[in-house]
Structure 1
Amino acid sequence: MTDLDAEDGKLLILARGAMGRTGGAAGAAIRDTDGRTYAAGEVGLTSLKLTALQAAVAAAISSGAEGFEAAVVVAGRFSDPGVHAVREVSATARIVFTDAKGSVFEVVEGPVEGDPATRPGIPEGFDLETESEVFE
């Protein structure tokens, strides 16, 4: 597990709060290059579906953000299309992935490549499909 610095710790708190407020399965928060933060949960309308990270990116961009420093995704997936949205704006922004309880299992600096199941840092017993621990 990786410890977060104070600024990324704030993003974790905001992302978990957004997840709790929306009652969704995931939450995300992002910090722009001016230090402003944006948090969001999943959007699951019939006419609009966004992952939490996509919603946070949309909130940031619609508020005038021009670049990103870091993002935290709680209970999200490596395949989240929001990762590509972050990369479109800032190729080197740090993206932190945590489980639903906030335990960090991956910190990605730069593009996410390859099969996520082969990436280092994923805790033993963690199921990438359900983004939860598997108990046998």
Structure 2
Amino acid sequence: MTPEDQKLVTLARSARARTQAAEGAAVRDVDGRTYAGATVDLPHLQVSAIGVCLAMAVSSGSSGLDTVVLLTPGRATPTDLAALEDFGGATVLVNP
């Protein structure tokens, strides 16, 4: 694992630990910017950790992703994988 990928793992772990969420994720976009987030599970809003990161990247004007890290007790959902394919994520590391 490269140092840049390790940075994403650290960001994902920190996001998950900070909120005690089920999942943590971090992404690096094609311009080198990083975004990290954790699962949002409110009574009226549920967003996966990958969904949070994708929303942050898209709303910041990113044109695509280079690397995605997901820390989860399970697997990435089909919806998250489809969204990553839509936006472009070359590498998905789950539970590194």
Do Structure 1 and Structure 2 share a fold, with TM-score over 0.5? yes
Uncovered stretches (5+) of structure 2, i.e. residues with no partner:
none
Higher relative contact order (CA 8 A, sep 6+): 2
2:66 is paired with a residue of what secondary structure? strand
Matched with 2:28 is 31
Unaligned regions of 5+ residues in structure 1, if any?
99-103, 105-136
Answering whether residue 19 of structure 2 is matched by residue 22 of structure 1, we say yes
Deviations 1:68-116 (A, max 9, x none): 00000011513252222111011x5111111xxxxx2xxxxxxxxxxxx
1:129 aligns with none
1:85 to 75, 83, 86: 83
Offset at residue 57 of structure 1 (A):
0.7
Partner AA of 2:69 in structure 1: V
Q: Deviations over 1:102-131 (max 9, x none)?
A: xx2xxxxxxxxxxxxxxxxxxxxxxxxxxx
* Identical pairs, percent: 39
Q: Is the 8 A contact 1:53 1:80 kept in 2?
A: no
Structure 1 segments of 4+ aligned residues over 4 angstroms from their partners? none
Alignment coverage as a number of residue pairs:
95
Counterparts of 1:1-136 in structure 2 under 5 Å?
4-75=1-72, 76-79=74-77, 81-90=79-88, 93-98=90-95, 104=96
Aligned equivalents of 1:73 and 1:67: distance in 2?
Answer: 17
Conserved? CA contact 2:70–2:76, under 8 Å? no
TM-score of the pair, normalised by structure 2? 0.91
CA-based RMSD? 1.3
Output the amino acid matched with 1:79.
T
Whichever of the two has the greater Rg, that structure is: 1
- Per the normalisation by structure 1, the TM-score is 0.66
Provide the rounded CA distance (Å) in 2 between the counterparts of 1:54 and 1:93.
Answer: 16
